Amino acid sequence: MRTAADQERFTAETGRFRRELLAHCYRMTGSAYDAEDLVQETYLRAWRSYAGFEGRASMRTWLYTIATNVCLKALKPRPLRMLPSGLAGPYDGPDRPPTAAAPGEVSWLEPLPDAWIAPPDDDPAAVVVARESLRLALVACLQHLPARQRAILILREVLAFSAAETAEILDTTTVAVKSGLQRARARLDELEPEPEELLEPTDARARALLDAYIAAFERCDAALLEQVLRTDATLEATPFRDWQAGRALCVHTLAAHVLGSPGDWRMIPTTANGQPAAVVYHRAPDGTLQADGAVLLAPTATGVTRVVKFHDPALAAAFGFPGVLAH
């Protein structure tokens, strides 16, 4: 029989790893909601086998072993989570509203609110590393790797487990780990040969770009959008298959099919995936501002290089905001 003291000891020894395990499961699955469920499953399995743990490994390694294998099992029957840019090249056809994928046709990547994983007090350098390993472009690339290669890359290069520790976690050999890491690195280089040097969301320049992007939408100001975006900027939004490349086309698409009239949009600044973000509201026919989703920006010293909008009203609650805003 487990006692209350056992439960308290288990919670004290394992609880401090919950946030980093959530980030790990998110990197593996590309879904914040799936990651929550998988962390819960990890802790349930850990509790069931806690009596036999006996300190044979570090508590952190033991929990990552459980979490990684929970993720690998869950990923087997699931399709890859994608962004529109992972489906095909940018749209270059005649002007028209973006075309949405059929319901269930694509499993979309989801954003991860920074508040879910950021401890209140942490080493600033560690915070920066965590942000970089959760950038949306990187997580999107990770989804293209076979699941075990993805696990090897994350364990070795993000979490800094040794080859021997990684082999133990995955119940394989160090030779297999080294080979898998080499293949994963090569594939990642193909997918993102030159990762962007993004500004930290705490950088005043990043916040200025976010504020200007929000102002452009709330004022229906296409000219301000031109000032925010780089000439090589891209624009994509789930659940739409089409995406745009180049500032001129991005601004045209937004002005012609999205912006509407001043006051149609309201945005609340936040952060997600270590990037400036905003929770988005759109004015409904009855005049209320209804949750519409979230938008993430990729800010650089020369402007925003990538805009990704997630059309999912439930994201407002995930970021801690209401579904409807007061007038």
Instruction: Transcribe 79-113 into DSSP letters.
Output: PPEE-GGGTSSPP-SSS-PPPBPPTTTSEE----B
| Residue 185 CB contacts under 8 Å (≥ 6 apart), including other chains | 153
Cis ω for the linkage preceding 239 (within 30 of 0): yes
pLDDT tens digits for range 150-182: 999 999 999 999 999 999 999 999 999 999 999
pLDDT tens digits for range 50-69: 877 766 678 999 999 999 99
Count the helix, strand and coil residues of the chain and give each as a percent rounded to the nearest 5.
50, 20, 35
Q: Please state, as a whole number, how many other Cβ atoms lie within 10 Å of the Cβ of residue 253.
A: 21
User: What domains appear along the chain, each with residue ranges and CATH number?
Assistant: 1-78 (1.10.1740.10), 81-135+198-327 (3.10.450.50)
CB burial of residue 186 (10 Å; 0-12, 13-18, 19+): exposed
Whole-prediction pTM: 0.93
Tokens found for residue 7: 């439960």
Strand locations in the chain, DSSP E?
81-82, 107-108, 229-238, 243-245, 265-272, 275-283, 289-300, 303-310, 324-325
Distances (CA, A) of 100 to 31, 37, 291: 20, 28, 19
CB burial of residue 201 (10 Å; 0-12, 13-18, 19+): buried
Distances (CA, A) of 165 to 112, 168, 170: 27, 5, 9
Pair 69, 49: CB distance under 8 Å: no
DSSP character at residue 56: S
DSSP bridge pairs for 280: 267, 293
CA atoms 226, 228, 232, 237: torsion sign: negative
Tokens 């349930």 belong to residue? 44
Over its length of 327 residues, how does the chain's per-residue pLDDT go in tens digits? 567 787 888 898 899 999 999 999 999 999 999 999 999 999 999 998 887 776 667 899 999 999 999 999 999 888 889 999 999 999 999 999 999 999 889 999 999 999 999 765 555 555 655 778 899 999 999 999 999 999 999 999 999 999 999 999 999 999 999 999 999 999 999 987 677 789 999 999 999 999 999 999 999 999 999 999 999 999 999 999 999 999 999 999 999 999 999 999 999 999 999 999 999 999 999 999 999 999 999 999 999 999 999 999 999 999 999 999 976
3-state secondary structure of 130: helix
Pair 184, 284: CB distance under 8 Å: no
